[in-house]
Amino acid sequence: MDTSRLFSLQGRSALITGGSRGIGRMIAEGFLAQGARVYISARKAEACNQAAQELSAFGPCVSLPADVSTVEGARALVDAYAKHEDTLDILVNNAGAAWGAPYDEFPESGWDKVVDLNLKAPFFLTQALTPMLKKAATDHLAKVIHIASIDGISVNPQETYSYAASKAGLIQLTRRMALRLAQDRIVVSAIAPGAFASDMNRDARDHAEEVKQRIPAGRIGEPEDMAAAAIYLASRAGDYVMGSTLVVDGGVTHAR
């Protein structure tokens, strides 16, 4: 058994949505360190370009700004990526949104925005990229990794109805897609992060000392924690993990 290359991504291409900041950026840096060519996408072009420029210090990183919340936007991203690569080894569906409002006041706009980006986009972007994923799956398996959330597994006190529903749905979608795409040598799995500092999780970012009191591990997640989980699933090491969701939360779902 040769374990020296189990976690290597040398020579592989990866596309990460929402890759300009937060969890997406953590994963991008980890993939680059393991030898992948990384393409990051985000809705805001300036932020995406800046992040790609900074990440290029670790390896080849290209900015592909796009709004994947619509099918048209997803197809535009596929077209932009196809100008650089003929195949795709790893797709990380990370772009996401959240919305909080009291039950009696929760708006349809807050439902549609979150569900479109968190649940619809991963399906249709993967669908559009499946031919390129299949083409990459020659001597190794292609990978699709959905970024879910522990809020799709257990309930927190915040009134984020569409967010919780979308992430629970994404976990089930991961199972369903994994069964279908396995026949094409494409492995689908997911990660459910807990508290990681990001613009979306401002509590972890701005109040880490308070938040960590509720986490059995005694701290919020660090970039290496997220990068390690994604590298595991994206590499040969994670080939036999199909349809499962890896919880990376310091034990907090067991303490709720």
Q: List active site positions.
A: 163
Q: Is 219 helix (H, G, I), strand (E, B) or coil?
A: coil
Task: Give me the torsion for CA of 195, 230, 45, 161, rounded to 10°.
Answer: -40
DSSP string across 132-188 = HHHHH-SSS-EEEEEE--GGGTS--SS--HHHHHHHHHHHHHHHHHHHHHGGGTEEE
| Pairwise CA distance, residues 146 & 192, whole Å | 9
Q: Which residue has the tokens 């291409």?
A: 13
